[in-house]
Amino acid sequence: MSDELQVPISERIAAYRQSRDIALRNEIVMQSMGLVRSCALSMRNMYIKYGEVDDVINEGVIALMDAIETYDDSKGAKFETYAVLKIRGAIIDYIRKQDWVPRNIRKFARTLDKANQMLYNLSGRAPSTAELAEYLKMDEDKLLRLMAECSGMMTLSFEELLYEDNIDEPSLETPTDRNIIIEETRREIAKAIEELNERERQVITLYYYKELKYSDIAKALGISESRVCQIHTKATLLLKAKLEPYFGNRRST
């Protein structure tokens, strides 16, 4: 490893801010490209049927350059943590603006989300597929087919919940405040995941922590890719229902 790469990245960013040396900025970008690629690949199930990985990576690079310009190490977050939030947020915004998904699937995803939230609020538990089908006045087979088709939309909606307004919250004045919020958020997410059934936890773990594609998850679990999409949709619906009040309360304080 070169001597330059041994210098903490925060110091290299500070040096760039002082010198405005474009060559130095480009070196920092190249040093951090792994963050962009990791984000683009971990989110590929949301866009792989419609968009190109290279286009998403380009959006991530733009966000990375913005992160270099706006990073403030006095706020207590590592640059890598801050950059990932910016990159993932930019990718979410890019996917949302592309309008790749057919209108009827987008509409159904919103309807399904609202139905799940209402039934969850009424019973205090995740509604079954049969209960959702009854509420939506359709047979279970059709519901399962549509759940598989809208998996990417539900994932995008869940990612928006996690990353929206979570980059530079003005209420978090000190590093201690930020660390407390980060740990609290992790606990809330972990608690919500624990309420999933075993198969749903397996899919969420393989998707978010192992960063596997749906096809690879299907092979690992010995089920069809369509079934993985259905399970993932059902899991994200429950996670959203559990976590929306938490994030809502945070934004209102």
Per the structure block, which two tokens stand in for 187? 């606990």
Summarize the confidence of residues 12-40 as an average pLDDT: 94
What is residue 1's predicted lDDT score, i.e. its pLDDT? 43
User: What tokens appear for 54 in the block?
Assistant: 């290279």
Chain-centre distance for alpha carbon 61 = 17
Round to whole Å and give the CA distance between 147 and 123. Answer: 21
Answer whether residue 219 shows pLDDT above 90.
yes
Q: Return mean pLDDT, the chain.
A: 86
Give per-residue pLDDT as tens, 57-88. Answer: 999 999 999 999 999 888 777 899 899 989 99
164: left (phi over 0), alpha (psi -120 to 50) or beta: beta
Q: At what angle do helices 103-123 and 225-252 cross, to 10 degrees?
A: 60
CA 131 to CA 138: how far, in whole Å?
10
| pLDDT exceeds cutoff 90 at 247 | no
Cβ atoms 44, 53 nearer than 8 A: yes
pLDDT-above-70 percentage for the chain: 87
In this predicted structure, which of 57-66, 114-123, 209-218 has the lowest mean pLDDT?
Answer: 209-218
pLDDT at residue 113 in the model: 94
Task: Flag the least confident range among 37-41, 98-102, 140-144.
Answer: 98-102
pLDDT value at position 253?
55
* Dihedrals phi, psi of 131, to nearest 5 degrees: -65, -40
Amino acid identity of residue 112, one-letter, is L
pLDDT at 188: 86
Which single residue is written with the structure tokens 């397996």? 202
Average pLDDT score over residue span 18-36: 95
